[in-house]
Structure 1
């Protein structure tokens, strides 16, 4: 009984309490807001499209309506070298799951300003884009009816799968990107997304991730709690990552233009 009580206490502190705080913050943030006519204009987070260099970005923003208490929605934006426009990919519950340029590349997600989860520019970005395009074209869960908000495959599963196609990218999605741990390729035990550890996923309903980039993450019904020792921080359901920030402000690796794309 002592072990059970300790387990229940830990669950309350690291799962229920953060979700309660996230719910309160959501009420404050969204009070009086109508999601259907919320601002979806550019947040000004991208270099000018006319700039000649290649660009890759991964963005995340709280999901629509009450689901924003629990999770963020991630999407991918890139621009090949010499291109004059950005291409945005989302994975959504309406229409064809893979949505091309359905929104402004760095647009607010129904009123919420996105954060930069990952950024690469110049040669590093140029080397990634063909792999990303191939991963998107070959994504297994691309048919009508494939989308499932929980435990996946959802928008975050899609982005995780595309990032998985780039060896050594050294990045992980936010802990509140529910669906990122869904086994998109059917492998329940595999290297962690960054390639610096391992991930056990029980169909997205539970699991464990341990890696140098990811730190320790425990997934219970899609909600992730954990700790990051590399950049000291805690990870909490609903609230995401709290602690030392990365060079792009999000707490994850950001290659510079001259790098190889690894951390």
Structure 2
């Protein structure tokens, strides 16, 4: 076997296969293989009570997804409330019913037992300025009909959130590397700027690709699994395990 091929195979095993094996072991160790139908979906307490918090709020959450798919991926969603609103509005993109689901779950609810993490947050005037554009991007999302949802390689829940945020150039964030579907070309373009506007992304229909950007870092996508390096906030990005390093940014 040529030495370059040996190195390539070794890197693939180290940065793609090994992390997925570790993620699978952690998944089964936690006993996540059954009981999702009755899993906890109550509030995780990550949002201020709307009645006592007048300023506008915008959040993007991510949580390990349902059943064995949790080995590989997280599920992302959007929640917000305008200034003075009495309640939050939550949007998910799901595989059942109408794909774009509004208020189907608690705005910061556990995703079938899994605690969410905050991927993005804006409050006050910043959130108030963003919320109308978030609503517009949701209303204009192309894959909104029954049958459009595809768990892999997309369009799925993470494709939806990536598309909504892509319309907000001042929101410079990178979705978690294990948000499978985030790289799906929802606008039909395989080569384009990254959602953060700080680099370029090549995606081969979501089945593979390469990202080079200041915010997203260096990401290699192989069959939806992403490995890479964050240079801005030093961290490794690994399939299944997500981001290992400083906080999301």
**TM-score scaled to structure 1, two decimals?**
0.92
Q: Who is 1:173 aligned against?
A: 175
Deviation at 1:31, TM superposition (A): 4.9
Q: Who is 1:210 aligned against?
A: 212
Instruction: Give secondary structure in 2 for the equivalent of 1:30.
Output: coil
Residue pairs, 1:1-263, within 5 angstroms: 1-31=2-32, 33-50=34-51, 51-245=53-247, 251-252=248-249
Instruction: Give secondary structure in 1 for the equivalent of 2:30.
Output: helix
Q: Distance in 2 between matches of 1:217 and 1:58?
A: 21
Q: Distance in 2 between matches of 1:244 and 1:57?
A: 19
Which sits farther off after the overlay, 166-175 or 18-27? 166-175
Deviation at 1:32, TM superposition (A): 7.1
Specify whether residues 191 and 135 from structure 1 end up closer, same or farther in structure 2 by C-alpha distance, changes over 3 A only: same
Instruction: Give secondary structure in 2 for the equivalent of 1:108.
Output: coil
Q: Distance in 2 between matches of 1:156 and 1:34?
A: 24
- The C-alpha deviation readout for 1:33-58, integer Å capped at 9, x for no partner, is 51110000000000111211110000
| Aligned residue pair count | 247
Specify whether residues 31 and 160 from structure 1 end up closer, same or farther in structure 2 by C-alpha distance, changes over 3 A only: closer
Specify whether residues 32 and 8 from structure 1 end up closer, same or farther in structure 2 by C-alpha distance, changes over 3 A only: closer
Q: Distance in 2 between matches of 1:103 and 1:221?
A: 30
Deviant stretches of 4+, over 6 Å = none
Alpha-carbon RMSD across the aligned residues, in angstroms, is 0.9
Gaps of 5+ in 1: 246-250, 253-263
Which sits farther off after the overlay, 153-162 or 185-194? 185-194
Q: Distance in 1 between matches of 2:33 and 2:210?
A: 38
Which sits farther off after the overlay, 68-77 or 167-176? 167-176
Specify whether residues 17 and 125 from structure 1 end up closer, same or farther in structure 2 by C-alpha distance, changes over 3 A only: same
